[in-house]
Structure 1
Amino acid sequence: MRLLIAEDEEELARAIQVILESEGYTVDSVHDGKDAYEYAVLAEYDGVILDIMMPKLSGMEVLEKLRSEGNQTPILLLTAKSAVENRIDGLDLGADDYLTKPFAMGELLARIRAMTRRKTVLQANNLTFEDLELNKDIMRISNGQDEIKLSNKECQILQLLMENPKQIFSADQMIERIWGWDADIEMNSIWVHLSNLRKKLAELDVHVKIVATRGVGYSLEVIE
């Protein structure tokens, strides 16, 4: 399970990282809001631990940007003990939980387990967008009547696009999210997968398509 820690107190961030890694988590750690946002957008995390008070972008700004873009990764806010209004605002913006400083590491671990467990429970086997349905378990797309089989990577790419409809992803972002940061994947590989997906969507005759925005990336859009 992969987590992101965004905490500008580097000593605290390191302590949290060591504890989480000892519990078997894979952890990335950043120390300002700008990096927190960029990491959260470019990689697939099971949860984010987000301090409210950070340079460049506050935790609240990061939270608001992610939720406004359709990113539903579970987020736990770290707040100052007196910041009651911030905690309320954070929950209203879509945070899953909050923890006040100082806190016991045992409580942090319990909150993370609860937060990521909720995500697992809520994850449906089927995704829908307009008249397109994706069954992730059997890697098939359907229009309600006909079905077409996808390859594993086609399924992962389409899942990313369906979970973030109308959001544009560059080829590099897709590679980082699906294959990982250090993957040695040629760019034409992603283009082949996208081309195959476009053909299968056209064959299924659904009212959605993968749109290429020149020089920017790809998004899943409704056919007008």
Structure 2
Amino acid sequence: MKILLVEDDERIALALAEALTDQHYVVDIASDGQVGWEFVEIFFYDLIVLDIMLPQLDGISFCQQLRRRGYSMPIIMLTAKDTSTDKVMGLDVGADDYVVKPFDLQELMARIRALLRRGIAILPPVLEWEDLCLDSSKLEVTYKGKSIHFSPKEYRILELFMRHTHRVFSRSEIIEHLWSFEKIPGEETVKVHIKSLRQKLKLAGASTDFIETIYGLGYRLKQSS
């Protein structure tokens, strides 16, 4: 999943980004509100961590504009102000949660996981497609009970397909969902990952076209006949 972190304190931003990356999230960092807004207009995000006191565009205005534009991703606000007025203001403009600095990193990570789970509440933690099973709580994948080892990016591509089983994803859409702004690869990289996924699935006993190519459009899990 992809997270946008809008925070002008470089020390906090880097520490939080490192912790999120360790949990296999893809993270973009914006050091002011205007840059953060430009990111949102270009890229897809599953969640935003948003500081209130920001240069260019403050967090309250940022959140308010997002909701007015119809963006529905979860938003956690960070602030040094621990007053009920500030909390009410943040929640009233559409924030889903509010965390006061200095915060406990593990607590913040737990709140992020809780909001992301809420966003995909209709989907179980264990995803299944024919004989393939993906346990998102353990980051494990099995085929007919046999464990398959995937790289973090391969795992995320497969998870994306299994969470949207009937959708076709183009290479550019896969990049948008799973790579950070600073590390955007060429579309050939997606092709390489798909090839590796297919090889590993085939070795586990799946068909060679378990992930099928819809020519001119992209990839999806092969539909049952």
Identity of aligned residues (%): 37
Q: Hey, what does 1:213 align to over in structure 2?
A: none
Moved more, 73-82 or 47-56: 73-82
Q: Hey, what does 2:13 align to over in structure 1?
A: 13
SS at match of 1:121: coil
Where does structure 1 differ by over 2 angstroms across 4 or more consecutive aligned residues? 81-84, 136-139, 174-185
Q: Hey, what does 1:71 align to over in structure 2?
A: 71
Shift of 1:115: 0.8
Structure 2: how far apart are the matches of 1:183 and 1:57? 32
Q: Hey, what does 1:51 align to over in structure 2?
A: 51
Cα deviations by residue, 1:106-134 (Å, 9 ceiling, x for unpaired)? 111011001111111168xxxxxxxxxxx
Cα deviations by residue, 1:143-193 (Å, 9 ceiling, x for unpaired)? xxxxxxxxx259xxxxxxxxxxxxxxxxx9x897579754559xxxxxx97
SS at match of 1:28: strand
Shift of 1:20: 1.1
Normalising by the residue count of structure 2, what TM-score does the alignment of the two structures yield?
A: 0.57
Give the aligned length.
146
Asked if structure 2 preserves the Cα contact closer than 8 Å seen for 1:33 and 1:59, the reply is yes
Structure 2: how far apart are the matches of 1:10 and 1:56? 16
CA RMSD of aligned residues (A): 2.7
SS at match of 1:98: strand
SS at match of 2:48: strand
Does residue 36 of the first structure (1) align with residue 49 of the second (2)?
no
Inter-CA distance 97–122: structure 2 relative to 1 (3 Å threshold): farther
Structure 1: how far apart are the matches of 2:5 and 2:178? 21
Q: Hey, what does 2:206 align to over in structure 1?
A: none
Shift of 1:84: 2.7
SS at match of 1:73: coil
Does residue 112 of the first structure (1) align with residue 99 of the second (2)?
no
Cα deviations by residue, 1:73-113 (Å, 9 ceiling, x for unpaired)? 11000012434322211111111111001111011101100
Asked if structure 1 preserves the Cα contact closer than 8 Å seen for 2:45 and 2:177, the reply is no
Shift of 1:30: 1.0
Inter-CA distance 87–179: structure 2 relative to 1 (3 Å threshold): closer
Asked if structure 2 preserves the Cα contact closer than 8 Å seen for 1:52 and 1:78, the reply is yes
Normalising by the residue count of structure 1, what TM-score does the alignment of the two structures yield?
A: 0.57
Inter-CA distance 176–18: structure 2 relative to 1 (3 Å threshold): closer
Cα deviations by residue, 1:26-67 (Å, 9 ceiling, x for unpaired)? 111111000111112211111110000000000111101111
Amino acid of the structure 2 residue aligned with 1:46? D
1:90-129 to 2 correspondence within 5 Å? 90-121=90-121
Structure 2: how far apart are the matches of 1:39 and 1:9? 18
Unaligned runs of 5+ in 1: 124-135, 140-151, 155-171, 186-191, 194-224
Amino acid of the structure 2 residue aligned with 1:82? D
Amino acid of the structure 2 residue aligned with 1:106? Q
Unaligned runs of 5+ in 2: 124-163, 189-215, 218-225
